[in-house]
Amino acid sequence: MERIYLSIPTKEEMWFKKELESDPKTMDYNAGYNVSYKGYNQNDGTIQEDLKELQDVWFCRWIGYEPSRYFAFIKRVEDDAYIGEVYFKDETPNGHEIGIVIKGEYRGRGYATEAISLLCKRADELGIKKLFHQIPDTRLSAIKADLNNGFVMVKNNIPCGFTKFGKTENEVLLVRVNSK
């Protein structure tokens, strides 16, 4: 029996995206990058976003655009607790890029592997042939979750052009091809 399910959010549920992005324990992986965009805190990786903007702008860009874009919250079956979020977006000709964020308090419990499995099933249902995930090579848990779901590492040591706390990072490229 599955422990989680994917739920396309309503505008009213955007409070969870705001909560997720403003939680230092959840966003610690995102800290230290030399980027400057609205709301980003380099020290702890959090992103402070206005709830109304999430509801009125972000929501309208992401929800209802399958198969080009798909976004869902990860929720626990037993109590509907919000665990995190997943997405894919069309980055033709490379395929659809995936992303996942697991709330800090739920990491290390296998939810990422399960959520990526569900995300891959949704992509298969929509006829998407190729998913990819290009992430820093230091994100070992994310790499493991991808590999557990049929992704193959096709390239590593990719210079990403970003620095994290002054150190240049490298990325890996993982790809999953649906043969159906």
Instruction: Using DSSP bridges, classify how beta strands 152-164 and 167-177 pair: parallel, antiparallel or unpaired.
Output: antiparallel
Checking if the pLDDT of 95 tops 70, the result is yes
**pLDDT category of residue 179 using cuts at 50, 70 and 90:** low
Domains and CATH numbers, the chain: 4-129 (3.40.630.30)
Q: For all residues of the chain together, what is the average pLDDT? A: 93
How is residue 29 written in tokens?
Answer: 């992986």
Closest by alpha carbon to 122, among 145, 147, 88, 164?
88
Q: Give the β-pairing of 130-136 and 96-102.
A: parallel
% of the chain surpassing 90 pLDDT: 83
pLDDT of residue 136: 92
For residue 162, pLDDT beyond 80? no
pLDDT at 22 over 70: yes
pLDDT at 123 exceeding the cut of 80:
yes
Instruction: Calculate mean pLDDT across residues 100-117.
Output: 97
Instruction: Give the total residue count for the chain.
Output: 180
Structure-token match 């499995």, residue found: 117
The whole-number pLDDT of residue 180 equals: 65
Q: For the residues 53-70, what does the mean pLDDT come to?
A: 95
pLDDT for 156 equals: 85
Q: Please report which confidence band the pLDDT of residue 31 belongs to, taking 50, 70 and 90 as the band edges.
A: very high
Mean pLDDT of 135-157: 93
Please report which helix (H) or strand (E) contains residue 76, including its range.
Answer: strand 69-76
